[in-house]
C-alpha cells in the first residue's frame, strides 16, 4: 500500500503551517483557512477532502499546540452537519462528566460508553467550574445525570473520527517536543560544550524522535483504512509519544522547563489533556482486545 503524500497534501500542510507557526491564530482565522470545513462536501461550502487530509491538518494544529475545541468542531461539521463550536465528551463509566471550555461552545456531543450519542445545546447544559491541569483548557463539571443518546452509523463515526484527530494532535505535539529539546540541547552549554554533545541527552532525543515517527506512521495508516481498531492502536502510540516526549523534553531543559518563560511544561499538560480526549487508554486497549 502506498502511503506517500501527494503534492496537494503537502501544500495543505504547508499552508496551515504558515498560519499557525509561532503564533496563536484567532478562531476566525482558523475558520477562514478551512480547518473545520475540510471534510464538508463542496456543495455545502466545504473543501470536500477526506480523513487523511484532516489528519495532516490536525497534526499541524498539534505541533502549534493550538487551543480551543478543534476536534469537536471539525467532527460536528463533517459528520453531523452542525455549525459552530462543539466538543466531543466521553461519558465515563464512573466519575463526573467534564466538558472543556463549555462557555465558548455551541454544542456538546456526549458519547456514552455504548457509543450512543446525545447532542446538547451548550447553553442548556448545567455545569460548574472544575479543576484543570491545562490552564488553556478549562474544565466544567456537568450537574445531574447525562441524558441518554442514540446509536446510529453517524455516532460510531463521531467516536472514531474524534479519536483519530486527537491522535493527530498528539503526533504534532510529539514532534514539537523533539524540536524544542533538540534546539535547547544545541544552545545550552555545560562543561564548556553544548549538552547535545553528551550521549545521554542524544539518547533521550533519539528515543523521542523514534516514538513520534512510529506514532505518525500508525496515525497515517489508520486515516487511510478508517478501521476502528487501527485507530485505537494509533491513539495509544500517539499518546505515548506525546506524553513521554513532553517528559523527556522537560528533562532536557532541566529546571528551566518548569518556568513560564520556557513554557515547556505546557506541552506536558496539553499531552495529558489530549490523552483523555477522544478515547482514553482503557477504551483503546479494550478495542484492541476485540481483535485478539
How do residues 139-155 score in pLDDT, each as one tens digit?
999 998 888 888 888 88
CB 51 within 8 A of CB 57: no
* Whether pLDDT at 3 is above 80: no
- Tell me the backbone φ, ψ of residue 116, rounded to 5 degrees: -75, 150
Domains of the chain: 154-291 (1.20.140.10)
Condensed to tens digits (0 to 9), the pLDDT of residues 55-76 reads 999 999 999 999 999 999 999 9
pLDDT at 126 over 70: yes
When pLDDT is cut at 50, 70 and 90, the band that residue 93 belongs to is confident
Residue closest to 235 by CA, chosen among 173, 182, 279: 279
The residue behind cell 498560519 is 19
The yes-or-no verdict on residue 35 having pLDDT over 80 is yes
HSE toward the beta carbon, residue 76, CA cutoff 13 A? 25
Flag the least confident range among 78-87, 148-157, 173-182.
Answer: 148-157
Looking at residue 210, its pLDDT comes to 98
pLDDT one-digit tens code per residue, 191-216:
889 888 899 999 999 999 999 999 99
Structure confidence at residue 2 (pLDDT): 61
Q: What angle in degrees, to the nearest 10, is found between the helix axes of 265-275 and 228-253?
A: 160
Whether pLDDT at 1 is above 70? no
pTM metric for this prediction: 0.94
What pLDDT score does 158 carry? 93
Amino acid at each position: 500500500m502506498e502511503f506517500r503524500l501527494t503534492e496537494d497534501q503537502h501544500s495543505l500542510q504547508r499552508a496551515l503551517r504558515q498560519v499557525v507557526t509561532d503564533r496563536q491564530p484567532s478562531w476566525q482565522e482558523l475558520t477562514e483557512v478551512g480547518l473545520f470545513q475540510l471534510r464538508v462536501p463542496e456543495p455545502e461550502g466545504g473543501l470536500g477532502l477526506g480523513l487523511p487530509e484532516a489528519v495532516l491538518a490536525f497534526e499541524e494544529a498539534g505541533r502549534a499546540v493550538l487551543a480551543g475545541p478543534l476536534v469537536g468542531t471539525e467532527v460536528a461539521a463533517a459528520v453531523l452537519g452542525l455549525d459552530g463550536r462543539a466538543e466531543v465528551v466521553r461519558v465515563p463509566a464512573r466519575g463526573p462528566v467534564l466538558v472543556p471550555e463549555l462557555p465558548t461552545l455551541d454544542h456538546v456531543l456526549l458519547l456514552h460508553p455504548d457509543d450512543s450519542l446525545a447532542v446538547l445545546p451548550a447553553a442548556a447544559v448545567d455545569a460548574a467550574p472544575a479543576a484543570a491541569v491545562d490552564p488553556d483548557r478549562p474544565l466544567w463539571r456537568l450537574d445531574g445525570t447525562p441524558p441518554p443518546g442514540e446509536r446510529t452509523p453517524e455516532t460510531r463515526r463521531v467516536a472514531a473520527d474524534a479519536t483519530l484527530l486527537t491522535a493527530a494532535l498528539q503526533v504534532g505535539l510529539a514532534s514539537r517536543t523533539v524540536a524544542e529539546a533538540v534546539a535547547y540541547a544545541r544552545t545550552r552549554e555545560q562543561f564548556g560544550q553544548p549538552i547535545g554533545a553528551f550521549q545521554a541527552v542524544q539518547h533521550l532525543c533519539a528515543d523521542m524522535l523514534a516514538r513520534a515517527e512510529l506514532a505518525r506512521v500508525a496515525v497515517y495508516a489508520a486515516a487511510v483504512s478508517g478501521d476502528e481498531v487501527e485507530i485505537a492502536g494509533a491513539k495509544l502510540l500517539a499518546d505515548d509519544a506525546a506524553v513521554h516526549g513532553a517528559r523527556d523534553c522537560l528533562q532536557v531543559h532541566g529546571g528551566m522547563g518548569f518556568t513560564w518563560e520556557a513554557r515547556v511544561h505546557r506541552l506536558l499538560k496539553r499531552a495529558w489533556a489530549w490523552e483523555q480526549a477522544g478515547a482514553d487508554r482503557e477504551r483503546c486497549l479494550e478495542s484492541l482486545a476485540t481483535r485478539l
